[in-house]
Amino acid sequence: MTMLSLNRRKALSILGALPLISGIALRFDAALAQSAASAPLLPSWNDGATKQSILDFVAAITREGSPDFVPPAQRIATFDNDGTLWVEHPIYTQLVFALDRVKALAAQHPEWTDAQPFKAALEGDMSTLAASGQRELLALIMATHAGMSTRDFEKIVLDWIASARDPRWKRPYTELVYLPMVELLAFLRANAFKTFIVSGGGIEFMRPWTERIYGVSPDQVVGSSIKTKFEMRDGKPELLRLPEVDFIDDGPGKPVGINEHIGGRPIAAFGNSDGDLEMLQWATMANGRRFGLIVHHTDAEREYAYDRDTNFGRLDKALNAAASNKWTVVDMKKDWKRIFAFE
Amino acid sequence: MTMLSLNRRKALSILGALPLISGIALRFDAALAQSAASAPLLPSWNDGATKQSILDFVAAITREGSPDFVPPAQRIATFDNDGTLWVEHPIYTQLVFALDRVKALAAQHPEWTDAQPFKAALEGDMSTLAASGQRELLALIMATHAGMSTRDFEKIVLDWIASARDPRWKRPYTELVYLPMVELLAFLRANAFKTFIVSGGGIEFMRPWTERIYGVSPDQVVGSSIKTKFEMRDGKPELLRLPEVDFIDDGPGKPVGINEHIGGRPIAAFGNSDGDLEMLQWATMANGRRFGLIVHHTDAEREYAYDRDTNFGRLDKALNAAASNKWTVVDMKKDWKRIFAFE
């Protein structure tokens, strides 16, 4: 019923420009498709081989009777978040959140003024922070992400995401999402894909806002997690966030997280860094038509330019693998007409 | 767009009797709704307070403008599997599967003929098995559920579920699903609910067949799991199943699994044993209209009768809690007109 023929595909692409419809599968009635018949596909993408590779893939797997045809139930696409759907430079947004939380909680923790990494966080000493090991960063995450109920943490995230501003663009971080990728998410959903986020970031940090920003509901978000514990408190059930790592959804963890949360194997995967290498291998190195895409940050002027030499979103092995696996590599500067919706 | 008004609700209920549509959200066009307008709701349920409590709840939360109205994105319903959607007596089906696997693998494990619990499994010595501790049962599970790729395990499950027969009804286990509950799943989905399975059973044991049998896709199945590991083998990516427990989705683990997989909090939960107590508390003890339901096995003739004194699906604390929390208790004998589709 939702196996869209090629001529409908074009009609439906307008949905990328519509406000995201929350919660339930998008539905397209005849009238809407009719009125959208003349809208261009993926309007923020420049014409060329990159855009064409996306259109060709979707055309092939939705064409009934084609050897490449994939039934809707198997149309699973997975997207990294940091650097693939939104800006990750100069540092991951979730780390900005953690540093803001350290400042907010400092009065209750006088011991932090003398202990690293909290001292560096409080002083805004980014070079010390950048040189921190995993143990220090974990201490920072646990001190700011654990010790409250899931409900309280959701409120903390929502309050922060509504008020925090990125220093370069002076805008909420949720406006620093890539418009071409938001169009791509909607385009895939219009072709009966389920679109999942599979991120190294915290699952509970993303879920409160992914539906509003990306049209991705909480159950379609996979991420790193800390353990939680069920408890009755004053006769009311609560889930408490514990200072203990549950799962790291990065690198070889991404196929594991995909299997645990989604069950099915993606036929398309979208990333931008070495942390996405195994996810792209898992999605594309299998029978049938598959699609892998790497966002290469090449636009220092409109966004950032980085690949092999960065702490945040290093793209090295995965860039080499893209060539041998024939993954599409987005040259951000060349392939994206617009980067942000506010431009 | 899918907020069904009350008069459409009735029309859509016919879907419970239609073949289950796989993968994507059910869609109902005007013609279908028209032809279904005279079909009864939940036809395998007898009229009475139990059935009425379900209809009243769904009517209330789908009535736009009502104080009980719940938007579609928050219409999350969670269902236990063993004893709630299919038969769990005299022993859990997954344990039957494990015992069959022990027999199939015995030739490769001569040491099993002298070592418990394998010896008992091979000899069909159920009383020894029933007296086994958690350590023995885990050994049985790990020996039969780990040590292969996820792909190979899926094939093993599908082959077994296609060929195994229940000794009482001489039918595949997938036919021993409760027709009233399958109708209920479809009725909720027709009212824009997402329906999840949240089971103590193995997540990878259920996923290969839940879509065909219940209309629940793999990403909407939550269960117990063992750890997996990503590996490149001969240049091909594989997920290997390790003999190590990852997560036990039972009792207080159910709200934890719900939070990890679904994110949102259910507004309705369906179970049959003490292992479902915390899930029902989590779903119902919160603001807004909520619904909890317990399947009470009271029909020794058509199925089984058990509650406080059984090893498989003990219903004791949760039965007491049902009274104080005003959960609906299904009296199987009285409330279900038909139990199985084959009757």
**Mean pLDDT of chain A, nearest integer:** 90
Lowest-pLDDT range of A252-256, B24-28, B141-145: B24-28
Please answer yes or no on whether A285 and B237 come within 8 Å at the CB atom.
yes
Distance, in Å, from the CA atom of A15 to the CA atom of A189, rounded to the nearest integer, reads 9
| Neighboring chain A residues of B230 at a CB cutoff of 8 Å | 252-253, 255-256, 278, 282
Q: Do B72 and A24 touch (CB under 8 A)?
A: yes
Chain-chain contact of B228 with A264 (C-beta, under 8 angstroms): no
Question: Residue B230 is nearest to which of A218, A229, A256, comparing CB atoms?
Answer: A256
Question: Is A241 near chain B, with CB under 8 Å?
Answer: no
Query: What is the reported pLDDT for A4?
Result: 33
Using CB atoms and an 8 Å cut-off, which of residues 298-337 of chain B contact chain A?
none
Beta bridge partners of B233: B236
Q: How confident is the model at residue B136 (pLDDT cuts 50, 70, 90)?
A: confident
Q: Which chain A residues in 69-88 lie under 8 Å from chain B, judged by CB atoms?
A: 71-74
Query: Residue B263 and residue A219: Cβ atoms within 8 Å?
Result: yes
Quick check: B150 and A192 CB within 8 A?
Answer: no
B288 CB within 8 Å of a chain A CB: no
Instruction: Report chain A residues whose CB lies below 8 A from the CB of B196.
Output: 219
Question: What distance in Å separates the CA atoms of residue A108 and residue B34, rounded to the nearest whole number?
Answer: 63
- Is A183 in the B-facing interface, judged by CB distances under 8 Å? no
List the single residue in B with minimal CA-CA distance to A255: B230
DSSP letter for B220, please: G
Using 50, 70 and 90 to split pLDDT, how confident is the model at A20?
very low
pLDDT value of position A131 = 82
pLDDT attached to residue A134: 81
Cβ distance B2 to A24 less than 8 Å, yes or no, reads yes
Kindly tell me the sign of the dihedral angle through the C-alpha atoms of B70, B74, B80, B85.
positive
Measured between CA atoms, the residue of chain A closest to residue B254 is A230
Distance from CA of B83 to the nearest CA of A (A): 23
Q: Which of A28-37, A103-112, A123-132 has the lowest mean pLDDT?
A: A28-37
- Cβ pair B80, B272 in contact under 8 A: yes
B260 interfacial to chain A (CB closer than 8 Å): yes
Task: Check CB contact of A236 with chain B, cutoff 8 Å.
Answer: yes
- Model pLDDT, residue B182: 98
Identify which of A217, A232, A239 has the shortest CB distance to residue B259: A239
B36 band by pLDDT with thresholds 50, 70 and 90: low
Chain B environment of A71 (Cβ under 8 Å): 22-23
pLDDT at B91 over 70: yes
What average pLDDT does this structure show over B43-59?
98
Does residue A292 register a pLDDT over 50?
Answer: yes
Residue A20, chain B, CB below 8 Å: the answer is no
pLDDT digits (tens, 9 = 90+) for A172-208: 999 999 999 999 999 999 999 999 999 999 999 999 9
Residue A129 — very low, low, confident or very high, per pLDDT cuts 50/70/90?
confident
A256: chain B residues, CB-CB within 8 Å: 228-230, 239
State yes or no: pLDDT of A36 exceeds 80.
no
A45, pLDDT greater than 90: yes
B-proximal residues of A, 100-159, CB under 8 Å: 150
How close B289 gets to chain A, by Cα (Å)? Answer: 16
Q: Do B219 and A261 touch (CB under 8 A)?
A: yes
Mean pLDDT score, A2-22: 34
Q: How far does the CA of residue B269 sit from the closest CA of chain A (Å)?
A: 14
Q: Average pLDDT over chain B, rounded to whole?
A: 90
Give the number of beta-carbon pairs within 8 Å between A and B: 125
- Would the pLDDT of B16 be above 60? no
Q: pLDDT category, A37, cuts 50, 70, 90? A: low
Residue of A nearest to B202 (CA): A260
Q: What is the pLDDT of residue A75?
A: 98
% of chain B exceeding 90 in pLDDT:
83
Residues of chain B with C-beta less than 8 angstroms from the C-beta of A325 = none
3-state SS string over chain A? CCCCCHHHHHHHHHHHHCCCCCCCCCCCCHHHHHHCCCCCCCCCECCCHHHHHHHHHHHHHHCCCCCCCCCHHHCEEEECCECCCECCCCCCHHHHHHHHHHHHHHHHCHHHHHCCCHHHHHHCCHHHHHCCCHHHHHHHHHHHHCCCEHHHHHHHHHHHHHHCCCCCCCCCHHHCECHHHHHHHHHHHHCCCEEEEEEEEEHHHHHHHHHHHHCCCHHHEEEEEEEEEEEEECCEEEEEEEEEEEECCCCCHHHHHHHHHCCCCCCEEEECCHHHHHHHHHHHCCCCCCEEEEEEEECCCCCCEECCCCCCCCCCHHHHHHHHHCCEEEEHHHHECCCCCCC
* B233 in contact with chain A, both atoms CB, cutoff 8 A: no
Tell me how close the Cα of A238 comes to any Cα of chain B, in angstroms: 8
Which 49-68 residues of chain B touch chain A by CB within 8 A? Answer: none
pLDDT tens by residue, A320-340 = 999 999 999 999 999 999 999
Instruction: Look at residue B38 in the predicted model and tell me its pLDDT.
Output: 61
Q: What is the pLDDT of residues B208-254, one digit of tens each?
A: 999 999 999 999 999 999 999 999 999 999 999 999 999 999 999 99
Whether the predicted pLDDT of B22 surpasses 50: no
Chain A residue numbers with beta carbons less than 8 Å from the beta carbon of B257 are: none
Write down the pLDDT at residue B18. 34
The nearest alpha carbon in chain B to A238 belongs to B282
Cβ–Cβ under 8 Å, residues A138 and A248: no
Q: Distance from A139 to chain B by nearest Cα, in Å?
A: 22
Residue B130 pLDDT grade (very low, low, confident, very high; cuts 50, 70, 90): confident
pLDDT at B101: 97
Mean local confidence (pLDDT), B260-285: 98
Report percent pLDDT > 90 for chain A.
Answer: 83
Lowest mean pLDDT among A1-10, A69-78, B292-301: A1-10
Q: Which of B197, B205, B230 to mutate to test the interface with A (most CBs of A within 10 A)?
A: B230
Q: Which pLDDT does position A38 carry in this prediction?
A: 61
Q: Which residue of B has its CA nearest to A282?
A: B237
ipTM attached to this prediction: 0.88
Q: Is residue A90 less than 8 Å (CB to CB) from chain B?
A: no
